[in-house]
């Protein structure tokens, strides 16, 4: 049973996350020969102020991008 964990910065819609999970499920079905029912996917979302890249939180990065 493949189990996939995805870490994301918060902000995607439920529809976006579901679409991504369906695409990943289909890729595993196609490439690993498992059934869709065997695939487990979990999304861990981090608030933007709890995630950092390049010394800036994602909140700071978003604010800088708007300038």
Closest CA relative to residue 10, chosen from 64, 56, 63, 58? 58
Sign of the alpha-carbon torsion through 3, 10, 48, 54: positive
- Given the residues 1, 2, 4, 47, the one annotated as active site: 2
Beta bridge partners of 9: 46
2 catalytic per annotation: yes
Active site residues: 2
């Amino acid at each position: 049973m493949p189990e996939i964990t995805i870490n994301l910065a918060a902000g995607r819609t439920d529809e976006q996350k579901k679409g991504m999970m369906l695409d990943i499920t289909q890729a595993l079905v196609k490439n690993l020969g498992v059934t869709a029912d065997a695939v487990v996917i979990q999304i861990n979302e981090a608030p933007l102020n709890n995630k950092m890249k390049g010394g800036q939180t994602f909140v700071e990065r978003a604010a800088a991008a708007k300038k």
